[in-house]
Amino acid sequence: MTKPIILNAAELPEWTHAELRALFTVLDLPRDPSAIGAFLHEHGSKVRGIALRKTKIDAAFLDALPALEIISSYSAGLDNVDIQATRARGIRIENTSHILAEDVANAAVGLALAVTRDFVNADAYVRSGQWPVQGHYRLGRSISRMKVGIVGLGTIGSAIAQRLSAFGSKLAYFGPSRKAIDIPYFDDVVRLARDSDMLILTCPLSPATHHLIDANVIDALGPDGFLVNIARGPVVDERALIAALAADKLAGAALDVFEHEPEVPEALIRDRRLVLTPHIGSGTEETRRAMAENVVDALAKHFDVEGPRGRAVVDAELESTG
């Protein structure tokens, strides 16, 4: 039987590529951007699936793939995919938000604790020998007594809400629509910020959320407020954030993502009120392996081929995510 032809447009672990090659006829997208057009012109009509990570899939790219049925993405975010064009074509999209939600939520809570309790600077205080000389360290803030606004209550946001509920935080959320849950909903992010001690950002990046957190939102959060971003860097207007910090309009921020990463503004690096991590929200060995496995498993299920983890296992895993 002829194997389905898929396009490999992702840098994935080598074992993942081996699994893909065992199940499918794999065409590797050229790394040279100037060669992509000719490659798609020659091979695009045969491609039925894509293994994706960061490659930009716009309407023109999709037009070159008339037989495309499914995009299986390693990432949770789909800001590199033209969702409207994909939906118009009836192309199925599988991502990994259901897989990485737990570890990203753990990272978000860890960042929230680190910035409110000043753990990073406290660590340096001990290591530098200041404790015996300077005495007790300054007091932090308690997230158990905070009002926390979650911007984007999807799979990841819901996992964060579950954890913060256990801490005792008072929760509210902002999103495009109200959900059938017992958490207060705000249809305006400025009003949510005004009513919160901390904002945690988990929303996807889209034209509607680009620079969603601007000077108005930061001003509403106020000089005693905290910002945690484990979504995408451009959700925050970085210039507005830097200006607010310079004017002492924010107590602190914990950022795992940046507007032009991996480049990080010197003003953020120098500011000791910030906790900065290099986009590691889902960065555990267990979750990253599961994300790579899902790229293969989703394609295997779609094309009804026996995957490396077995068809029954794949069916159960995907059905459990809804």
Where in the sequence numbering do the catalytic residues fall?
232, 261, 279
- Residue 314's Cα: distance from chain center in Å? 23
CA distances from 134 to 31, 137, 148 (A): 55, 8, 33
**Which positions ≥6 away from 123 have C-beta within 8 Å?**
none
How far apart are the C-alpha atoms of 158 and 164, rounded to whole Å?
Answer: 10
Residues paired with residue 172 on neighbouring β-strands, in sequence order: 149
Measure the CA–CA gap between 249 and 146, rounded to whole angstroms. Answer: 18
CB burial class (10 A; 0-12, 13-18, 19+) of residue 322? exposed
Query: 1: which residues sit within 8 A by CB, 6+ positions away?
Result: none
